Amino acid sequence: MKLRALICKRMAGMATLLLAAVFSQSVAAQDYPNKPIILVAPYAAGGDSDASGRNLAAVAAKYFSQPVVVQNIVGASGIIGSQRVRTAAADGYTLLIARGGSQAINPALDSKTPYKWNDFTMISLLDFNPVACVVKGDSPYKTMKDLLAALKAQPGKLNYATAGPGTTQHLATEILLKSAGLPSNAAEQIGYKGGGEATTAILTGTVQFLCNNLPTLGGQLKAGTMRGLLTTTTERLKEYPDIPTARELDLAPMEDVMGWSGLWGPPGLAAEVVNKWVEVLKRVARDPDWIRGNASFGGIPAIRTPAETEKFAREQFELYERLGTTLGLRK
């Protein structure tokens, strides 16, 4: 009897401590934020995640009355920064600027990725970065129809640039070829160390075409050193009215190929923190400074509810998982 009473007493004590911890977390979440918030951008400064994060940080700080600071934690195709957030305290002070490459492509294609696509608390999408397929400004291929006709007539003769197998540039081209009814070997992939080198390969004429995030190509398109043949947006963009959409060209599956940024937290992020961000993001979405910031780097505003965000993230993971299986890219 004494032993049973002792066990019951200890269990009651543990329950009290647990309730106290939960209560303490809840109180802390209600006081959120009371110190600076770190947004981890898992890619280098100047890239899409960095631009998206800094745009959000500058505007969100107005509504939180606390600094919101971007920290670039780079390496392993976004995995190092993503993992840092996954293992951070679930208090809302360390959040992730998620990207399609780090949160969908990596988990879909590489079994060694130390997290799954849904090992995070998803707060919202932030912006979309459409993909464009381009050729050099003086290329003989004036339209996508011209390029596809050449690929069909001379399979394997034309080259396209990527930042390596399994990257956005590679997978976008694979979906383009599949949408057009062409095999993967209709064009030869030439891999480079990064998107910058891949872009240079187009400008020097080393390769014939490239599909990449539009913001990366904007300067060359506006200068005329590149010609856009297709965008993955549902409507033509005001900045590039002469570039047709994939749907116009009967290549609608290309619409699924879209660079994007989102705001993710560690697993188990307190509901109070998520709800505060949801309310702030509603105001951010209407803020002229945030809208102008998106336009400056080619981002299309895409703030969504947590449920809509999770649905989108799942669809992106499943898209690349199917594609990786079809192409034998999964490892």
Total count of domains within the chain: 2
Cα–Cα distance, 52 to 78 (Å, whole number):
15
Is residue 29 a part of any domain in this protein?
no
User: Hunting for tokens 């050729």 — which residue is that?
Assistant: 135
> Does residue 219 share a domain with residue 149?
yes
Query: What pTM, to 2 d.p., does this model score?
Result: 0.82
The percent of residues above 70 in pLDDT, for the chain, comes to 91
Asked which of 230, 256, 282 is the last residue of a domain, the reply is: 256
Is residue 23 a part of any domain in this protein?
no
Name the pairing type of β-strands 94-99 and 37-41: parallel
Which of residues 104 and 28 earns the better pLDDT score?
A: 104
* CATH number of the domain where residue 322 is located: 3.40.190.150
Predicted pLDDT at 287:
98
Average pLDDT over residues 231-257: 93
Predicted pLDDT at 24:
44
Asked which of 228, 256, 284 is the last residue of a domain, the reply is: 256
Is residue 22 a part of any domain in this protein?
no
Domain extent for 205 = 130-256
Q: In the chain, what is the straight-line distance between the N-terminal and C-terminal CA atoms, in Å?
A: 58
Cα–Cα distance, 179 to 26 (Å, whole number):
50
3-state secondary structure the chain: CHHHHHHHHHHHHHHHHHHHHHHHHHHHHHCCCCCCEEEEECCCCCCHHHHHHHHHHHHHHHHHCCCEEEEECCCHHHHHHHHHHHCCCCCCCEEEEEEHHHHHHHHHHCCCCCCCCCCCEEEEEEEEEEEEEEEECCCCCCCHHHHHHHHHHCCCCCEEEECCCCCHHHHHHHHHHHHCCCCHHHCEEEECCCHHHHHHHHHCCCCCEEEEEHHHHHHHHHHCCEEEEEECCCCCCCCCCCCCECCCCCCHHHHHCEEEEEEEECCCCCHHHHHHHHHHHHHHHHCHHHHHHHHHHCCEECCCCHHHHHHHHHHHHHHHHHHHHHHCCCC
> Does residue 164 share a domain with residue 276?
no
> Does residue 265 share a domain with residue 252?
no
**Neighbour tally for 223: CB within 10 Å:** 9
Cα–Cα distance, 279 to 289 (Å, whole number):
17
CB 91 within 8 A of CB 276: no
> Does residue 112 share a domain with residue 161?
no
Residue 9 has pLDDT above 80, yes or no: no
Predicted pLDDT at 29:
63
pLDDT band at residue 167 under the 50/70/90 scheme:
confident
Asked which of 222, 256, 290 is the last residue of a domain, the reply is: 256
> Does residue 42 share a domain with residue 111?
yes
Here the tokens at position 123 are: 């707060």
* CATH number of the domain where residue 222 is located: 3.40.190.10
Average pLDDT over residues 143-171: 94
Is residue 24 a part of any domain in this protein?
no
pLDDT band at residue 22 under the 50/70/90 scheme:
very low
Predicted pLDDT at 316:
94
> Does residue 83 share a domain with residue 40?
yes
Residue 196 has pLDDT above 50, yes or no: yes
Is residue 51 a part of any domain in this protein?
yes
pLDDT band at residue 239 under the 50/70/90 scheme:
confident
Is residue 279 a part of any domain in this protein?
yes
pLDDT band at residue 17 under the 50/70/90 scheme:
very low
> Does residue 252 share a domain with residue 135?
yes
> Does residue 134 share a domain with residue 94?
no
> Does residue 141 share a domain with residue 214?
yes
CA angle 23, 86, 115 (to 5 degrees): 135
- Average confidence score pLDDT of the chain: 90
Is residue 224 a part of any domain in this protein?
yes
Is residue 12 a part of any domain in this protein?
no
Range among 75-79, 206-210, 294-298 with highest mean pLDDT value: 206-210
Predicted pLDDT at 149:
98
- pLDDT tens profile 289-331: 999 999 888 889 999 999 999 999 999 999 999 988 988 888 8
Nearest to 117 by CA among 99, 129, 131, 94: 99
Predicted pLDDT at 195:
77
